[in-house]
Structure formats: structure tokens, C-alpha cells
Amino acid sequence: MNFRSNSEMARYYIEKLMEDGEEHSFPEITDYVMANSEGREIKGPLTIPIISNSVMKVICQEKGSYETTRRGCYRKIDAQVNGRSASLGAYTRAMKILQTTKAELKSCFKISLMDTEIDVEAVKDMQKCGKTIGSWVELALQEVETRLLKIQSMETEEETEDPDMTLNM
């Protein structure tokens, strides 16, 4: 491949690494780009700021194709990454977010009985609030799971469709 600049080369290797749809950290991306571009630098060395700028260009310019999974970690969420549809990926991510939220909420509303300053009514109110929010999250989880199963069954049906029944164009 012939590149016009170090930035173009960095973007190419970033996109190539991200094709697998897995989460990649910034240091992992940097190592991959550096290893694959070694000895091919154009008009000067390939530096960390060039790679950082290239990561931001790839992630920001292709809105909807990539997501930031956590600080400094990115993943491709293209429509057919790993053979999965975009909606399946979206519901899978929603399921993970809701499960994490549910776990965090449980710890949020735990109160130590050792604290004598806490008003009993305030504790009861907090518990009620926690249960209400927990039930909302549980309903959302059930809804997402239902839709996820529906999409998976539709995709399975499409895969097992008789090839002789499809139109050849």
C-alpha cells in the first residue's frame, strides 16, 4: 500500500484492527499501528500524537460505526460486524448496560445499620425508591431480552431459508 501521509497510514491500520468488532484500548491500537508501519514512515516519524489524532478522526468521522466502550477503549459496531445485524448488536449492548445498572443500583441503596444518624423513615423511603427503580430496570431488561430473542430467531430463520426459493439476479 502507498500512503500519502503518516496520518493516512495510521487511519488505515486503525480501521484494519477494528474490523474484528472487539474492544481495543488506545495502547493496543498504538502498538498495532507502530508494529505495522515500522520502516514505512512518510516525511518523518510516526508519533503518538499522529496516532491519537487518527484514532479521533476514525471514531468521530464515522459516527455510528464505532463506539467508545469506556475511557480510551473503542469498538466497531458496523451493521454487519461479526455477521450480526446492527439491531442485534444494539440490543446486546443495551442488555449489558442494564445488567450493569441493576448491579450498581443494588449497591447504591445499601445502608449500614451502624450509622445511628439515619432517620428510619428516610431509610424506608430510600428502600422504596430503590425497589421502584429496580423494577423499572427489570422491566427494561425483560423488554430488551424479548426483542433480542425475536431478532435472533428472525436471523436464524433467514439463515435456514431454502436457497432454491430465493431470486437470482
For the chain, what are the domain ranges? 6-76, 84-161
Return the higher-pLDDT residue of 151 and 50.
50
Please name which of 84, 77, 47, 80 lies closest in space to residue 63, comparing C-alpha atoms: 77
pLDDT at 86 exceeding the cut of 70: no
What is the amino acid identity at position 38? Answer: E
Position 129 scores a pLDDT of 87
Mean pLDDT value across residues 15-44: 89
pLDDT value, residue 31: 94
pLDDT band at 81; cut points 50, 70, 90: very low
pLDDT of residue 169: 42
- Given pLDDT bands bounded at 50, 70 and 90, which one contains residue 82? very low
Place of cell 478522526: 57
Among 40, 34, 80, residue whose Cα is nearest residue 54:
34
pLDDT band for position 11 (50/70/90)? very high
Please give the CATH topology (third level) of the domain spanning 6-76: Arc Repressor Mutant, subunit A (1.10.10)
- Above 80 in pLDDT, residue 88? no
Per-residue pLDDT band for 163 (boundaries 50, 70, 90) equals low
> What are residue 63's DSSP bridge partners?
66
With a cut of 90, say whether residue 85 has pLDDT above it. no
pLDDT confidence of residue 69: 81
Residue type, 8: E
